Every structure is written in structure tokens, then in C-alpha cells.
Amino acid sequence: MTETVITIPQLSLVLLVGPSGSGKSSFGRKHFLKTEVISSDYCRGLVSDDENDQVATKDAFEVLNFIAGKRLAAGKLTVIDATNVQPEARRPLIDLARKHHVIPVAIVLNVPREVCLARNETRPDRNFGKGVVWGQAEALRRSIKGLKKEGFGHVTVLDATEIDTVRIERQPLWPDKRDVTGPFDLIGDIHGCFDELEALMVKLGYVIEGRTPFRVTHPEGRKLVFVGDLVDRGPKTPEVLRIVMDMVADGRAFCVAGNHDDKLRKALQGRDVKIAHGLAESLEQLSFETPEFRQRVIRFLDGLISHYVFDGGKLAVSHAGLKEHYIGRGSPRIRSFAMFGETTGEIDAFGLPVRYNWARDYRGDTMLVYGHTPVPEPEWLNRTINLDTGCVFGGKLTALRYPEKEIVQVDAARVYCEPVRPIGYGQDARDADVLDIDDVAGKRIVETELARNIVIREENAMAALEVMSRFAVDPRLLIYLPPTMSPPETSGFDGWLEHPAEAFDYYRKQGVATVVAEEKHMGSRAVVVLGRDADVVSRRFGTAEAGLGTVYTRTGRAFFADKTMEQAFLARLAKAMETAGLWDHLASDWVCLDTEIMPWSAKAMALIEQQYAPVGAAAAHVLPLAAELLARAGQAGMAEKMAERAGMVSAYRDAYRRYCWDVKGVGDYRVAPFHVLAHEGGFNLDRDHLWHLEMIDRLCAADPGFVTTTRRQVIDLSDAAQVAAATRWWEDETAAGMEGMVVKPMGFTIKGQKGVIQPGVKCRGREYLRIIYGPEYTAPENLSRLKARNVGAKRSLAQREYALGYEALKRFVAKEPLYRVHEAVFGVLALESEPADPRL
Amino acid sequence: MLLTISTTHAPATDLGYLLHKNPQRLHSQTLSFGTAHVFYPDARNDLCTAALMLEIDPVGLVRKKGPNEGFALEQYVNDRPYVASSFLSVALGQVFRTAMSGRSKDRQDLADSAVPYEIHLPALPSRGGEGLLARLFGPLGYEVTATRLALDEAFPAWGGSACYDVRLRITARLGDVLRHLYVLIPVLDADKHYWVGDDEVEKLLQKGEGWLDSHPERELVARRYLKNLRGLAEVVMERLSDGEAVPDPVRQDGQEETLEKAINLNRQRMEWVVAALKRLGAKSVVDMGCGEGRLLGLLSKDLEFEKITGCDVSVRALEIARARLNFDRLPEFQQQRIQLLQSALTYRDKRLAGYDAATVIEVVEHLEPERLDAFARAVFEHAKPLHAIVTTPNAEYNALFPNLPAGKFRHPDHRFEWTRAEFEAWADSVAERFGYTVTFEAVGTVHETLGAATQAAIFTKGDKQ
């Protein structure tokens, strides 16, 4: 028996066509996955409990269409097991395939009607009359000829003998070059500028060995990808075609179709096209070539496809861009979009149609490289980049190295053609700033490098949306939010709630050899985004209104209510950076610092006035009085207890008073930076703490009256003497008023077996904790109960928040689009609204 | 936590009979939130002082959360163990139950007689200050002496706390005195009434029988008791507050409302908006920043508007809007006309596109100036209504509000208030940029030089005629 091979596109909508009893279901079972086949009978059953209930047909097909639509949207091949014998039954399915830009395929089971009838007779559930099958067979007979015309991309008619010998082969779609991984050099619109192309190729390291034909190699085996518009306007269109055709033929280059290339093809094929926009030059230049060459050009241009997908789906290339859900699919609409883009229907001041800015709405993970619209400089927008820098208009010819993301350019030798509208016209620099509610709202899953997928619950996102939009600073400046921090497990020592022993234990168990214990300052946490000057901030952060930057709290609010104070604070810090030589040392003109700003009272005054001070005032007044009254009543024991309580209250008042002083000007603030989070080209959460402390010490030295040092101990956890010394240091300093310390793994971000380990564990002083657990928490009857606390939930929260903050900062440093940074920062804020014991 | 009752009415130690507590001993009683002790620092013929002292368990207090209490740090560092609060009332009711009812086993005559008493409450929070103390106790015949406690003597600049050391003198029956205290202590403390049991309100009203009815401040007393009900949304917002006061989008409108109430501005404004929408022929309207849904309420009553959407960023505001519209009980056709959704006007939101008109009533002034660009794009570039009505306070008019200090805004959450020239400059630039035409109107009575209280811009899509 010879095999009949049917080739179908990997992604297609396959209609099995044949009367009842023609064997569609068995055919489907044999050649496709169970889940790939949707049967109308099954859908009938779903809506009516009876697979043969014809009354349910309308509802059943709605269900069938819905499921098929979902599968196609997800890029899954789908098979429709229904009779599909009437054109009106096939029409909606063809439309559905078009809507999802997949190819409709018809496989006809052309079985004699007698066979169908005989089969149905053996099926007691199929008691519909002979006439039905007869009618179906008749409808099929009339349909077969016109199937191609109806819009099917592939039609196979199988007769009874062929059905059993079929093998189905799935073919990758044309654009699918996922297995080609590069490295690539992608080249923007050339428009006949051969000299510039050659210069650029040389600059990129290509060696042109022969010229007839062109033999081009690259020592590293790099490949060229052209974004189309090879032709028109420029002086040497035939030369450009020649080198590109030769390289494509050699398998050393890929090229997608540009609108000019397509129009030139039509003109050469003798079709009636308007000779404009530089087409005349191409035709004239080609008229000096041989007819054979012109034929070759026609064949080449005719074979160009709309777009390519490379490197496992990480890179896509088209001439005028693509929408995310078009990538890797094929349809006339996609081809048209890939070559021309879309217009909004409006006409601009130069009488040209206004282009729809699809890149602004692009949210795909695939890097998308395109050209078509000349721009002054290539700029990233939502993982897309336009390489058309108007070489033929006297601009530049641009290449993008992939995966390096490096731009290589050569200047045009001269202006070959004047543009109709100025280059860059209508391009809105602020487009990159547009955030969509869909970027943050609802239940979301944020992919992170450190902790994989982090789930943001809808109600948390709702709370965060309100805080973000009512109180937070400009999202363009909000590039990081610090995670919450967990304390150690409760201390095993009597009379202590927290003690360094458990913090050291935690890291020892995680396999960390060296930790640094840093002084925990008692002020307010603040993230500082600082530029060397206002221009830098405007350029790098895209906001001209931020001056030198901003300072914000752990929930993203502006730290300073007074803008003038904020700018004065930043100016002083910028000066310290200058004096310390850190701008030059970091080779950056902006920096993001993790800091604590003192005094506590500067930010927490409302809290102090409404909560801390009133508690102290009332307690300090009433407890001694109670003691006195009890003594007078002869209750000496109870009087003594009240006196003890009064003592604890007095310790409590001392504890918070240390952190309060009046602030009139910038000079009254103290800032203690402890992490140099990021700077241009520098993502520093993977650098060890010694590096951070070294940078910070230099900053402190530059303005010691303003920038406060962070005292620290470096501890080898296997050295008992070092551990003991650090413990003593903590005991002494906290007794003298230090809030506490934060123990951190020296390497900053450490991945353990269960995800990232805590980047810090705080260990707070005994006296300080009165502010947290209440003035009298040290009373034995209170402490014994407070010791029953669980840090598990807090640790999990800290881990997730850290992963999101890390992600946000890393994305910002890598110049990812604003929405990508914002999604992660927003996630931190949303997680913060989860209920957690605020004392931990 | 502490209250003393003294009398000089000889034999003063008979106070023990009235309170049913022997002056020679310490009486301790366990309550749900701690322990109450009664003892007598003075037990002489000419002076007897009974002290009621509460030892409130601070740890237990936190663990036994009320139904509406969230996880806020304020519960841990808490003045409840030290001040006179509803806990003291509860203790009074339990420890001196019989005395409060006016009965005495051995001295009924004395219980029925008016006798001079001095009450000392060394730490009584009075949210409303000395004035409120006088207004509450004065009408009942008390002589009030109050000394305000400093917030912290180490920081004199911080000023006084809400707590007072209070002495009350009166000649009255002991039962009445105890019932006055039972009700008025938590009323003074107001904000922080901690839920002890569901029936506390009920009990409270019983204790007011016979005197609360004729008290000139009876409404205030009642209102303060109902003040502690907090929504879930509020609790969540508190978690993200960073310890800062969160201007409530709904309740704090109070201030602005009070200012504008005299001129009935809000109603005028809403009616003007509805009239303007009708003039524009708008059938579908999205109210951006709908707040508690006042405009939606008006629009829903007019069937000319076929589709009405309200959006706000505050979940709590939307909850209130839903309740005000009585949304869940509306007939189906109304429910289909009206929808409420959470959105933020600095994000692009496709759900807000395609309306005949967008109304942005008293909203822009709540945005930081640097976010106005994102706002303008969200509304005029992405939502693209045919018409947009934007209103905002006219800063010039503020001079006419007698209670508004110069340079202050009408609402604590306002980030700016514009003069007419500033507003018009902004609106003109927005119109120009996004292809709208704009006209301006004054809403409310117009002052000769200062204009109206509210200024409005009406944007219409398309080129100038």
C-alpha cells in the first residue's frame, strides 16, 4: 500500500469534511491528539446531554467556535470534527481562522454514501433517516470543487481507499526560523545606498571576498538580517539587490519584504503601479542590467516573506513592525501590516497618513526589530527598535548586533533624496511613558529571575493602585521599592525577644560563611534617585520636572512634602558625590541609593504626636500616682509593681526621645546610605557588601556632617571569637541607644535551595523594641506570651518582595520599558498590603 | 486606668456601704480584659477616697481583636492601659453594679441623698478639649477642673496631649454620678472606643436614662458612639499608609463641603454638569473620579442618559457609591445602564473609551502637577470622548471664604488650585495638542473680579469651526 502524505501547516484550523458515517471521528483519533479535535457531537452533548439532539445544534456550534477560538489564540492546531458539508457551515470557521491569522485546511473524506449509510445503521443512536445522509453527501459533492475558492489554504480530498494510507505531516510556517540562533547583525532600510552598506558591513567585520557573485563571510559566522526596503530612491539599487540576493542564496543572510521591494516587484512584473517615491530610479538603474538579472530580482522579491522569528522565539524581524499576536503567523492582513503598518485614518500637516503607533502598545516578550519609518536615532520602545535612520535622506545606515543589542552605524555619504516630512516628525518621545491599567490591575503573575512567578492577588492590586496613583511619586522615578525585612527567630535567652545568636544561626544554616552586621539606623527608610544635574534626570528618567531626582519612602511616597527642601537635600548629596569623585568612579551621572534618613521625628511626627508621645505622657502621669495611692492604702506589694511599671515607661520614653530632634533646614537632616542600588550600567544587588560600604564610606568622608556612616562588623560565622565580639558589640551599642543591626550575607543576593535567601535579618535592641511591642513588653508575663511568634509568613513576604524589587531595578538598569519596571515595583506595593504582623 | 471617688460627707467611710466594698480591704475582680482593683487610699471619718484601678492586659488586648480591627501598630503601643476609656466604663458597670443602680443594702437613705463627691480622673482623653469637658459635665451640675498633660516635657514645642488630669466636684446621688461617668468617659475618648461586646451600645443607652434625654449635647453623645465602624478598605489603606495620615477621599470632603456649603456649591455644580451634558446631547457618560457617586445618582434618574459609567481609584469611594445608588437592588434595566469600575486616570484604560462625554469633576486638583501629562493623555488621547467637562476650584475665589486662611487649599488632598488664567492656559494647551476645541464657563455665583467658585472647561473633539 502506498502512503498518502498530507502536509499541513503546524498551526492551522483543520476541517474534516464528510457526511455522517464517513469516518471523521476515527480519522481524527488516528491522526491528532485527543485534545486537538473538537467534535460538534460532543459539543451538542455538552449543552444538551444528548449528542444527537439537533435542537441544540446552534448552541453547540457556539461552544465549538468558542473553544476553537481560544485554542487558535493560544497557537494550537485545531481540528473540527463536524460534517462541514455546507458552505454556510464552513464560512464561520474560515472566518475564525482568518481572525486568528491561521490557515484553514480542508480534509475531505469522500466516502460513498452507501458506506456511510451502512455504518450509521450499526449505530443505534443515529436514527436519523436515510435522507439526511443522502442530502449531506449531495451537498459535499457540490462543494468539493469550490473549496479552494472559499478560502482554504490546503484542500485534500481522500477517497475510501486513500483514507487508511494517510500520513499527516506538520510543516513549520514560513516565518518560523526558531532554530536559527544567530548571532545576527540586523540592518535597517538601505534604499539603494550600496556604498554605505558596504562600509557598514566592513565595520561589522564582514569580509567581502568575491564580487561576481558576492562572497561574503564573517570570521565569527555572524549572519545578516535585512529589514527590507532594499530598493528605490538611492543610487545603487541593483548593487544592493545583488549582494543581498547572493548572501541569501548562500544562507548567510535573511531578508523580509519591504513595501518598496514589493512595489518594485509589481512594476517589474508589468503590473500597473504608480511610479513615485523613488521607484523611477530603481527602474532606470535596472534597465541597464540584463533581462536575466531582472528575472532573478523578480523571483527573489516574490519569494520574500512578511517576517521571521529567530532564536527560539526571542527575536522577530519585519519591515514595518507587527502586533504581538501576529508573530509567527501568516495571513494577508499580517503581510500588509508587516510591510506597511497601519494608519489611524488621520492625515498630518504634510498630507501624509498618520501612522498607528503599534510599538507603544506592544507588550510582547519577543524582541521586535523593524524599519520603515525614518527616525533620527534608533530607540527602544517596549522591546521594539526601529533601525531606519534615513540613510538615503542623508542620515545613517544602522545595524543592531544581536544578541549584544549594540548599535553600529555609518553616516550617509550625502543626501540622496529629500524627505517629504522631516525625519522624526510626529514621533512622541513620551510614548514610552504610557502605562496601561492592564499593566497592573487584576490578578497578575510577575515573572522574576529570583523567585520565578510571583502572584499578585487582585484585592492587593486594587489597594496598590489607589496608593500608587494618589500618593506615589512619578512612576518614571519609582524604579525600586525595598522589601520588608524579617527579624530572627525568637531568642532562646530568658528576658530577650531578639538576639543576634538566632540571626547568625539562620545564615549558618543557609550555608553562608561570611556575614556583615550593619548598624540599623533609626530614622525613616528612603530611596534616593539622584542625578548629577537636572539634564541627566530628564534624559535617563524621561521627566523634565524632577530636577535632581527624588527621595521616596518604602511605599513610594515623596519623602519631602516640600519640593524645595527635597531639591536642596539632593543638591547637597550630589555635591558629596562630586567631592568623593564617585560620579567618575562609577562612570555614571546618576545613582540610586538605599538610605535611612534621620531624625525619625522628621517623617514620623504624626505618629509620635498621636501615638508614641501620648502613651508616654499618660503612663508617666498615672503610674506614679497609682503607686502613691496604693502605698497610702497599705498595698506595698502592688505599689512596688506600679513603680516598676513606671520605670519601664520611663525607659520607653527615653527610647523614642533619642530619635527626635527639630528640623528646620536641610542641614538638620542626616542621611545614612547603606546600599548603592544602581547606577548607569550598574546593577549592584549582586555586588558584595564590602563594595557598597566602600562607596558609602567615600561619600561619608566627603560630607561627614550630613552623610552618616554605617558602623559594621564583618563576621566569619565559623569563628566563635568573631561571633562573640559581634554579639558584644550589638549588646553594648543597643544599650547605648543604637536601634539594632541588620545581618546580611556578604554576597548580597544569594540563591539557596529554596529560592533566594533573606538579603537581611534585622536584630533589634531590647530598649528599642519598647517602641514596637509596647513600653512594658519586658514584663515577664508579657514577654513569655510575645515570644510565641512566627516569622515564616514575614520571611516568605520578604522573599517575594525582594525578588520583585530586584527585578524592577534590574529591568531599569537594562533600559527595559517603563511598564516592565512599573509592573514589578507595583507588585512590591501590592504585596505590602497583605496582612502581616507589623511588629515583626 | 485610674479613677478615685472621694467624699467628705461624714461619716465618710459610709462610701464603702454605697459601693459595697469594705474600705479596709483590697478588692480584686477579674474582667475579660484584665483585672479591676478597688482600694481606699483614705478611709477616715472626714475623708474617704475609693480608687478603682484597672490593670489591662496589653498583650491580651491585641490578641482579642474586635470584628473591625486590623493589624495596625497603634494597637501595640497603645494608651488603653493607661487612660480612662470604655474599659473603665465597663469596669465601673461590673465592679459597682449595685451602686450604679442606686441601691444600697445598708445605707439606702444615703444612696438616695445628694452628697458632695469629688471624682479624680488623672488621665482622661478628651477629643474636643477642655471645652468639651465643660459642655458635657457642666449641664449636669459638675464643677470641672482640668489640667492638660504635656505630650512630652522633653519637647515643649510638641504642645499638649489629648489627655487631661480632671477633677469633678458635685453634690449628687452616687448612682447618678456613676452612670454619668459610665457614658461620658467613652464619649470624650471618642475615636478609640474599643469594642468589648456587641451589646455595649445598648447598655450605654440604658445608663443614659433619665438624664441624657435632656442633655443639650445628646446628639453628639450618640454620634460619637457610632463612630467606630470602619470598612475593610480603610483597614487595608492603613497598612500602606507608612504611618502617615491618609486623607480619606470620602469623609474628608467634609472640610471642602463645609466651606462650600454656605453657597451650596456642590449641588449647583452637579446640576450645571447635568444641564451641560444635555446641552451637548450626550447619551453615554463616563464620570472619571466619580467619588461617592453624586453625579451618577443624578444621571441615573434621567433616562436620556443611556449608558453611565463611574470610575474612581478609591475602592472605598466605589463601595459608598454602590451603596448610595442602591445598586444591588436596582431594577435590571438600571443595572445594565450603570457600571462602576476602579481605574486610575494616569493609566490608559480601554474600558473608558468610546463615550459621548467624560466628566472630570473636581478631580485634576488631586493630581500631582507632574502627573497631569499622563492624565491628559489617558483622557484625551486614549479614552477620546466626544466631549469632556473638566471642573476645578477657582483659586481666586478662595479669598471669599471667611474660614479659609490665605494660601491654603480647600481640601487637604488638593495638590494645587488654579487661577482662571492658569486653568485656561492648561486647557488650551491640552485642546491644541489632542485636537479638541475648548470653551470655559463659570459655575455658581460670579464675583465681579474674582469669578465663580468653580471654573469649568468644555472640550469638544474636532477642529475649530
**Where residue B314 sits, what CATH number does that domain have?**
3.40.50.150
pLDDT band at B331 (very low <50, low <70, confident <90, very high): confident
Q: Which of these, A185, A187, A183, A205, lies nearest to A389 by C-alpha position?
A: A187
Closest CB to A436 among B163, B243, B347: B347
Mean predicted confidence (pLDDT) in B338-359: 94
Q: Which residue has the higher pLDDT, B123 or B261?
A: B123
- Give yes or no: residues B175 and B53 share one domain: yes
pLDDT value of position B445:
84
- Give yes or no: residues B90 and B182 share one domain: yes
Q: Which of these, A297, A282, A285, A291, lies nearest to A249 by C-alpha position?
A: A297
Check: CB of residue A18 under 8 Å from CB of residue A85.
Answer: yes
Residue B311 lies in a domain: yes
Burial of A365: CB neighbours in 10 Å, binned 0-12, 13-18, 19+: exposed
- Give yes or no: residues B273 and B142 share one domain: no
pLDDT value of position B465:
43
Residues in chain A within 8 Å Cβ distance of B72: 838
**Longest CA pairwise span in chain A (Å):** 123
Which of B194, B209, B241 lies at the terminal end of a domain, its last residue? Answer: B194
Asked if pLDDT for residue A465 goes beyond 60, the answer is yes
**How many folded domains does chain B comprise?**
2
pLDDT value of position A152:
92
Determine the distance in angstroms separating the CA of A551 from the nearest CA of chain B, rounded to an integer: 15
What residue of A is the nearest CA neighbor of B73? A838
Q: Which residue has the higher pLDDT, A481 or B209?
A: A481
Mean predicted confidence (pLDDT) in B330-347: 91
Check: CB of residue B430 under 8 Å from CB of residue B458.
Answer: no
Q: Which residue has the higher pLDDT, A678 or A113?
A: A678
- Give yes or no: residues B177 and B288 share one domain: no
Dihedral pair phi/psi, residue A320, rounded to 5°: -110, 10
Determine the distance in angstroms separating the CA of B314 from the nearest CA of chain A, rounded to an integer: 6
Which of B178, B194, B210 lies at the terminal end of a domain, its last residue? Answer: B194
Asked if pLDDT for residue A380 goes beyond 90, the answer is no
Percent of chain A with pLDDT over 70: 99
ipTM: 0.82
pLDDT value of position B68:
39
Q: Which of these, B85, B92, B1, lies nearest to A646 by C-alpha position?
A: B1
Cα four-point dihedral sign A460, A461, A462, A468: positive
CATH number of the structural domain spanning residue B163: 3.30.1610.20
Residue A139, number of CB atoms within 10 A of its CB: 18
Residue B239 lies in a domain: no
Give me the helix-helix angle, A279-287 and A291-303, nearest 10°.
Answer: 140
- Give yes or no: residues B442 and B340 share one domain: yes
- CB contact under 8 Å between B377 and A613, yes or no, is no
Assigned C-alpha cell, A290: 540584463
Closest CB to B71 among A607, A785, A835: A835
- Measured distance CA(A284)–CA(A234) in Å, rounded: 12
- Measured distance CA(A582)–CA(A585) in Å, rounded: 5
Asked if pLDDT for residue B192 goes beyond 80, the answer is no
Q: Which of these, B103, B121, B137, B98, lies nearest to B51 by C-alpha position?
A: B121
pLDDT band at B70 (very low <50, low <70, confident <90, very high): very low
Q: Can you list the positions of beta strands (E) in B278-371?
A: 284-288, 307-312, 338-342, 357-361
Q: Say which DSSP state A608 is in.
A: I
Residue B228 lies in a domain: no
pLDDT band at B226 (very low <50, low <70, confident <90, very high): low
Check: CB of residue A763 under 8 Å from CB of residue A713.
Answer: no
Asked if pLDDT for residue B205 goes beyond 80, the answer is no
Determine the distance in angstroms separating the CA of A603 from the nearest CA of chain B, rounded to an integer: 8
Residues in chain B within 8 Å Cβ distance of A468: 344
- CB contact under 8 Å between A629 and B4, yes or no, is yes
Mean pLDDT of chain B: 86
Mean predicted confidence (pLDDT) in B352-361: 96
pLDDT band at A354 (very low <50, low <70, confident <90, very high): confident
Q: Say which DSSP state B314 is in.
A: -
Which of B194, B214, B231 lies at the terminal end of a domain, its last residue? Answer: B194
- Give yes or no: residues B290 and B353 share one domain: yes
Q: Which residue has the higher pLDDT, B49 or B183?
A: B49
Dihedral pair phi/psi, residue A304, rounded to 5°: -70, 135
- Measured distance CA(A677)–CA(A643) in Å, rounded: 48
pLDDT value of position A815:
86
Q: Which of these, A326, A277, A744, A832, lies nearest to A553 by C-alpha position?
A: A832
Asked if pLDDT for residue B455 goes beyond 50, the answer is yes
pLDDT value of position B71:
40
Amino acid at position B401, single letter? F
Asked if pLDDT for residue A349 goes beyond 60, the answer is yes
- Give yes or no: residues B274 and B161 share one domain: no
Asked if pLDDT for residue B264 goes beyond 70, the answer is yes
Element (H, E) at A244: helix A237-249
Assigned C-alpha cell, B196: 468589648
B225: three-class secondary structure by DSSP: helix
- Give yes or no: residues B256 and B168 share one domain: no
Asked if pLDDT for residue B123 goes beyond 60, the answer is yes
Determine the distance in angstroms separating the CA of B153 from the nearest CA of chain A, rounded to an integer: 9
pLDDT value of position B257:
61
pLDDT tens digit sequence for A628-652 = 999 999 999 999 999 999 999 999 9
Mean predicted confidence (pLDDT) in A367-385: 89
pLDDT value of position A350:
72
pLDDT value of position B101:
92
Dihedral pair phi/psi, residue A105, rounded to 5°: -125, 135
Mean predicted confidence (pLDDT) in B96-101: 94
Determine the distance in angstroms separating the CA of B285 from the nearest CA of chain A, rounded to an integer: 20
- Give yes or no: residues B263 and B126 share one domain: no
pLDDT value of position A457:
92
Residue B202 lies in a domain: no
B163 Cβ under 8 Å from any chain A Cβ: yes
pLDDT value of position B199:
63
- Give yes or no: residues B174 and B29 share one domain: yes
Mean predicted confidence (pLDDT) in A273-293: 92
Residue B230 lies in a domain: no
pLDDT value of position B463:
61
Distance from the first to the final alpha carbon of chain A: 76
A764: three-class secondary structure by DSSP: strand
Asked if pLDDT for residue B299 goes beyond 60, the answer is yes
Asked if pLDDT for residue A821 goes beyond 90, the answer is yes
Mean predicted confidence (pLDDT) in B333-340: 90
pLDDT value of position A733:
93
Residue B210 lies in a domain: no
Check: CB of residue B164 under 8 Å from CB of residue B147.
Answer: yes
- Measured distance CA(B266)–CA(B454) in Å, rounded: 9
pLDDT value of position A835:
79
- Give yes or no: residues B346 and B262 share one domain: yes
- CB contact under 8 Å between A836 and B165, yes or no, is no
pLDDT band at A451 (very low <50, low <70, confident <90, very high): confident
Q: Which of these, A259, A444, A266, lies nearest to A338 by C-alpha position?
A: A259
Asked if pLDDT for residue A375 goes beyond 50, the answer is yes
Mean pLDDT of chain A: 92
B370 Cβ under 8 Å from any chain A Cβ: yes
Residue B281 lies in a domain: yes
Determine the distance in angstroms separating the CA of B236 from the nearest CA of chain A, rounded to an integer: 6
pLDDT value of position B342:
95
A468: three-class secondary structure by DSSP: helix
Residues 6+ away with beta carbon under 8 Å from A384: A321, A359, A362, A367, A368, A369, A370
Residue B190 lies in a domain: yes
- Measured distance CA(A380)–CA(A817) in Å, rounded: 8
Q: Which residue has the higher pLDDT, A840 or A59?
A: A59
Radius of gyration of chain B (CA): 29
A-facing residues of B in 39-58 (CB < 8 A) are 39-42, 49, 51, 53, 58
Residue B110, number of CB atoms within 10 A of its CB: 18
pLDDT value of position B67:
39
pLDDT band at B72 (very low <50, low <70, confident <90, very high): very low
The bridge status of strand A184-187 relative to strand A396-402 is antiparallel
Residues 6+ away with beta carbon under 8 Å from B441: B272, B276, B455, B456, B457, B458
What CA–CA distances, in Å, run from B251 to A68, A118, A611, B247, B315?
50, 78, 22, 8, 14
- Give yes or no: residues B181 and B72 share one domain: yes
Residues 6+ away with beta carbon under 8 Å from A720: none
Closest CB to B149 among A439, A608, A617: A617
Dihedral pair phi/psi, residue B102, rounded to 5°: 85, 10
pLDDT tens digit sequence for A527-553 = 999 999 999 999 999 888 899 999 999
Asked if pLDDT for residue A223 goes beyond 50, the answer is yes
Between CA B320 and CA B324, with CA B321 as vertex, the angle to 5 degrees is 85
Asked if pLDDT for residue B69 goes beyond 70, the answer is no
A418: three-class secondary structure by DSSP: coil
Q: Say which DSSP state A511 is in.
A: T
The domain containing residue B51 runs over which residues?
A: 2-194
Closest CB to B59 among A464, A471, A786: A786
What CA–CA distances, in Å, run from B298 to A534, B275, B397?
48, 11, 26
pLDDT value of position A122:
83
The bridge status of strand A514-520 relative to strand A184-187 is unpaired
Residues in chain B within 8 Å Cβ distance of A608: 158
Check: CB of residue A642 under 8 Å from CB of residue A559.
Answer: no
